[in-house]
């Protein structure tokens, strides 16, 4: 697994750049990850990211877009505004989690 340096911090990532060790993640790193993909984190972004972290901890799987909306209570429309084009993947990236594997 490659190691990359972000914000002066060494992190383990997969070949695409997603963190492979969720424990290396903290909120400062999230801000840096967001900046890498052109997203400045607002409270609304944090709301989604915190849900992802919490759900991953409880379920052991990155939630799909549908789950973020039905369980996390954030409308899908809003997620597309916050994380344009590819919300599920972008959220997972900023939250330091693997890409979601679910189909829906």
Residues of the shown chain interacting with other proteins in the complex, contacts defined by CB under 8 A: 2, 4-6, 13, 15-18, 36-37, 65-67, 69-70, 75-77, 80, 84-90, 93, 102-104
Which CB sits closer to other proteins, 65 or 82?
65
Residue 16, token pair as written in the block: 């695409």
Give the whole-angstrom CA distance, residue 93 versus residue 16: 10
Give the whole-angstrom CA distance, residue 53 versus residue 96: 8
Which CB sits closer to other proteins, 39 or 53?
39
Which CB sits closer to other proteins, 42 or 81?
81
Q: Which of 1, 3, 103, 104 is catalytic?
A: 103
The minimum distance between CB 50 and other proteins, in angstroms, equals 21
The minimum distance between CB 40 and other proteins, in angstroms, equals 16
Enumerate helices (H) and strands (E) in the chain, giving the number of each: 5, 2
Long-range contacts of residues 44-48, Cβ cutoff 8 Å, at least 24 apart: 44/78, 44/82, 45/82, 45/83, 45/94, 47/74, 48/72, 48/74, 48/79, 48/82, 48/83, 48/91
> Is 103 an annotated catalytic residue?
yes
The minimum distance between CB 14 and other proteins, in angstroms, equals 9
Catalytically active residues are 103
């Amino acid at each position: 697994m490659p190691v990359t340096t972000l914000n002066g911090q060494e992190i383990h990532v997969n070949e695409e750049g997603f963190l492979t060790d969720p424990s290396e993640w903290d909120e400062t790193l999230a801000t840096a990850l967001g900046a890498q993909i052109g997203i400045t984190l607002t409270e609304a972004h944090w709301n989604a990211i915190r849900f992802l972290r919490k759900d991953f901890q409880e379920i052991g799987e990155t939630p799909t877009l549908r789950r973020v909306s039905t369980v996390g209570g954030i409308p899908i429309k809003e997620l597309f505004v916050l994380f344009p084009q590819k919300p599920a993947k972008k959220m997972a990236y900023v939250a330091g989690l693997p890409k979601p594997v679910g189909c829906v």
